[in-house]
Every structure is written in C-alpha cells, then in structure tokens.
Amino acid sequence: MTIVKDHSLAEELTQNTFFKALKAKKDFRGGSSEFTWLCAIAKNMAYDELKKNASKVQADENISDDRDIIENLEDHDVTIRIHIALHNLEEPYKEVFSLRIFGELSFKDVGRVFGKTENWARVTYHRALLKLREKMGDSND
C-alpha cells in the first residue's frame, strides 16, 4: 500500500505475491526468513506494476497544491534517482532500508526479520542512509 498508494491494487499485488511465492517455494534458498522473502517478492511486484503503469499513473493526490509542473517533474526525477541508488545498494542495507521505509516496520521488527537486535537494525539503517546519501552525491556529479 505504501508503494502503490491504491488499496485495491495493493490487495491484488498481495494475492499475486502469495501465488508467486507458492509457485516458487522450491526455489527458496533459505538465505533469509520467509517473511523477508515474501516482502522482497511484494516489493518487486509493486515496482514492476508501477513501471508498467507509469504512463497511466496520475500525480499523487497528496501533491495537489499549486506547485508548478517543473517542480513536480524535479520531485519525480529525485524519486527515481533515490530508487536507482537504493536498487544499487548492497545487502543487508537495501533490505533494512526497504523494510523500514516501504514496509513501515519498527526497528525492533526489522531486527526480528534478520534474527538480530533492534540496535543492529538501527545501526544498519543509519549506515544505509549514509550509503544512499553517498550514492546520491555520486549521481549528482
């Protein structure tokens, strides 16, 4: 829901996530928890859906103020650059950041997903932010 901003689409993607996970269960290597694996499938399906419907997607209802088109395009461009930097971020930083921001999990829950402590999740998230800022700085050059 956080990624696609549409309740019915989020429900459909959730159903498709479980269907895809059931079909691919034999391919699950166990390198992470099943919850993390499901979240990764859901996240990837949501991003694929957004890419597929990019031409159809209208401006977010939350951006309904009087800002001009140029500013909206710049915001979109920054968002894309952030997602590219996140996509290129190594694990576990990418997953911790995604669970915290897109999955809206607490640090305690993020730690539980990885079988680590809440403090580990906080430190890893902070390092992920630093790495993202560094990557974003590199992309501005």
The structure tokens listed for 109 are: 């829950």
User: Counting beta carbons within 10 angstroms of the beta carbon of residue 55, is it exposed (0 to 12), middle (13 to 18) or buried (19 or more)?
Assistant: exposed
Instruction: Count the neighbouring beta carbons within 10 Å of the beta carbon of residue 41.
Output: 18
The confidence score (pLDDT) of residue 138 equals 60
Domains of the chain with CATH codes = 7-24+33-54+68-139 (1.10.10.10)
* Contacts of 81-88 spanning 24+ positions with Cβ under 8 A: 81/136, 81/139, 82/132, 82/136, 83/47, 84/139, 85/132, 85/135, 85/136, 85/139, 86/132, 88/135
Query: Which has the higher per-residue pLDDT, 30 or 91?
Result: 91
pLDDT in tens, 28-75: 777 777 778 888 888 888 888 877 766 454 444 444 444 454 454 456
The structure tokens listed for 67 are: 């800002």
Q: Which residues contact 64 (CB under 8 A, 6 or more apart)?
A: none
Per-residue pLDDT band for 115 (boundaries 50, 70, 90) equals very high
**Average pLDDT of the chain?**
76
Q: Are 85 and 129 in contact (CB under 8 A)?
A: no
Q: Could you say which DSSP state residue 89 is in?
A: P
